[in-house]
Amino acid sequence: MTTPDHWTTIRGLVAWLDQQNGRSQQEITLRLLKLTEEAGEVAQAWIGTTGQNPRKGITHTTTDVADELVDVIVTASVALASLVTDPGAHLDTAVARIAARPRTP
């Protein structure tokens, strides 16, 4: 079985969303807001992993947290691909810029 590359999958998701909802400024806003929702789910899963809420106890695993982080990555990728023509190149350029920053010990 061959797995499509990340950006092929993301482009497919963007095309599906565009077909369902269009790509108006409002739709892009909602795609950006979806990222905040997904980040909140990461926080909820981490709190559940630590058992920080004594009323609920331990409700999640680190695998749950990892799965929620993947949702954040995919959601961010969809938002990026909804804004720029070549999201892969944009990401590569941004990561290279970050890698070139000086680091202090």
At 56-75, the pLDDT tens digits run: 999 999 999 999 999 999 99
Query: In the structure, what pLDDT confidence band is assigned to residue 2 with cuts at 50, 70 and 90?
Result: low
Rounded Cα distance between 87 and 32, Å, is: 15
Report domain extents, the chain: 22-98
* Cα–Cα dist 68/73, whole Å: 9
pLDDT tens-digit profile of 78-98? Answer: 999 999 999 999 999 999 999
Say yes or no to pLDDT of 44 above 70: yes
Whole-model pTM? Answer: 0.90
**Residue 69 in contact with residue 38, Cβ under 8 Å?**
no
pLDDT value, residue 105? 80
